[in-house]
Structure 1
Amino acid sequence: MSKIDHSLFSAHEHALDDNFGDCPECGKPLHIKNSKSGPFIGCTGYPECNFSKPLHDKQTTVLKTLDGIACPECASDLAIKKGRFGMFIGCTNFPSCHHIEPIKEKEDTLVDCPKCKKGHLISRTNKYGKQFFACNHYPQCRYVLNFTPVNESCPDCGWGVLIDKKGQLQCPQPACGYKK
């Protein structure tokens, strides 16, 4: 029977301790701390030193440079980038130039918004690439549909739009239940 080497478990060299460096303000070590909004990196000199930074930087990463496609503002190359709200096209000369544009243009469905009756429903995509339809008067009107809108009123409840869900026309109102 083999013996366990207890020197592997010494407390001063714990395997789970990460080295986050020293505080740029006071020089004391940085450690992971917790708050009601989640973990962060903070100074061990707290409360004398209030330095903190996010545990995960939500920085934008360049996925691919679009060689030969110039920025309309500064003539630098454009690139496909991924940020906290998904993918977009942005200038490689950031932060000097702040030009950005969506990868996919918003398409107007020409279907009137049944909630505010002022706007149209436009095709959008979320940060994961899933399509949805929202009123173009956002944020004043927050009406959203997850299925393609059809410019017909519901014959049962009178709601101003129907949806095409798997080839079947339905009323988007949960209380109605109309299907065609």
Structure 2
Amino acid sequence: MSKIDPKLFSAHEHALEKEYDVCPKCGGELQHRNSKSGPFLGCSQYPSCDYSRALHQQDHSLDKVLPGTECPECGEELMLRQGRYGMFIGCSAFPSCQHIESAQPQAQSTPEINCPSCNKGKLAARQSRYGKTFYACNAYPKCSYAVNDQPIAKPCPDCGWKLLVIKKTAAGKREVCPQKSCSYKSAPLVEI
């Protein structure tokens, strides 16, 4: 049996010892660190040396100018950008102009239905932070009425509530009263 040469495994030349580069400011070793904005490399001599750099470079190749568009606030061209919460449209003159808008297609327009709670606002389609559509009163801070399913302007035949919602069930789509105290459900709707 052959003997293994111990020089191959000397501690000072081990492959995992110098995992990262050296600090360009002070010559100390860079270490893998984590923060709320993601992983980064930081100097082991911290706090006397505050050098750090991102572990992964930001990819701004997704930023595309939208030709023929104009910012409603400053008149510069708009850009499609990748942000922390997904794609959005923003002004190319950022940071001097802070205009942004959603890149998501707007939900299909629903007929104007009066809010049954305040009788002043209209129910409008909105999107939650998870991408689900819900319908809420557009007089929001004063009225917080909202339903998860698409409303229709028909009063409930059982309790008289001013609207019904279309709910998908195992039997098909049904008109349902959104009031918790009412259990009205129509027969399954026939789709044409």
Give the TM-score category using the shorter length: 0.5 to 0.7
TM-score between both structures, scaled by the size of structure 1: 0.61
How many Å separate the matches in 2 of 1:120 and 1:171?
A: 18
The aligned counterpart of 1:66 is 66
Matched position secondary structure for 1:109: coil
Match of 1:178 among 181, 184, 189: 184
Percent identity over the alignment is: 42
The aligned counterpart of 1:122 is 124
The aligned counterpart of 2:137 is 135
Structure 2 counterpart of 1:90, which letter?
A: G
Give the CA deviation at 1:127.
Answer: 4.3
Structure 1 counterpart of 2:66, which letter?
A: L
List alignment gaps of at least 5 residues for structure 2: 1-8, 48-59, 187-192
Matched, 1:79 2:79: yes
List alignment gaps of at least 5 residues for structure 1: 1-6, 48-59
Instruction: Report if aligned partners of 1:147, 1:163 keep a CA contact under 8 Å in 2.
Output: yes
For residues 136-179 of structure 1, the C-alpha deviation after alignment (integer angstroms, 9 at most, x for no partner) is 01233222222110112222223222101233110112332211
Match of 1:111 among 108, 113, 138: 113
- The higher relative CO (CA closer than 8 Å, separation ≥ 6) is in 1
Structure 2 counterpart of 1:74, which letter?
A: C
| Alpha-carbon spacing, 1:138–1:30, altered in 2? closer, same or farther (3 Å) | farther
How many Å separate the matches in 1 of 2:87 and 2:128?
A: 10
The aligned counterpart of 2:96 is 96
Give the CA deviation at 1:92.
Answer: 1.6
Q: CA RMSD in A?
A: 4.6
Instruction: Report if aligned partners of 1:108, 1:120 keep a CA contact under 8 Å in 2.
Output: no
Structure 1 counterpart of 2:121, which letter?
A: G
For residues 109-160 of structure 1, the C-alpha deviation after alignment (integer angstroms, 9 at most, x for no partner) is 3111222332111012334543221110123322222211011222222322
How many Å separate the matches in 1 of 2:84 and 2:157?
A: 42
Structure 1 counterpart of 2:114, which letter?
A: D
The aligned counterpart of 2:154 is 152
How many Å separate the matches in 1 of 2:148 and 2:182?
A: 17
Structure 1 counterpart of 2:124, which letter?
A: I
Aligned length: 168
Return the index of the structure with the highest Cα Rg: 2
Structure 1 counterpart of 2:68, which letter?
A: G
Structure 2 counterpart of 1:123, which letter?
A: A
Larger fraction in strand: 1
Which stretch of the first structure deviates more once superposed, 70-79 or 81-90?
81-90
How many Å separate the matches in 2 of 1:84 and 1:140?
A: 30
For residues 40-65 of structure 1, the C-alpha deviation after alignment (integer angstroms, 9 at most, x for no partner) is 98x98999xxxxxxxxxxxx995532
How many Å separate the matches in 2 of 1:120 and 1:61?
A: 41
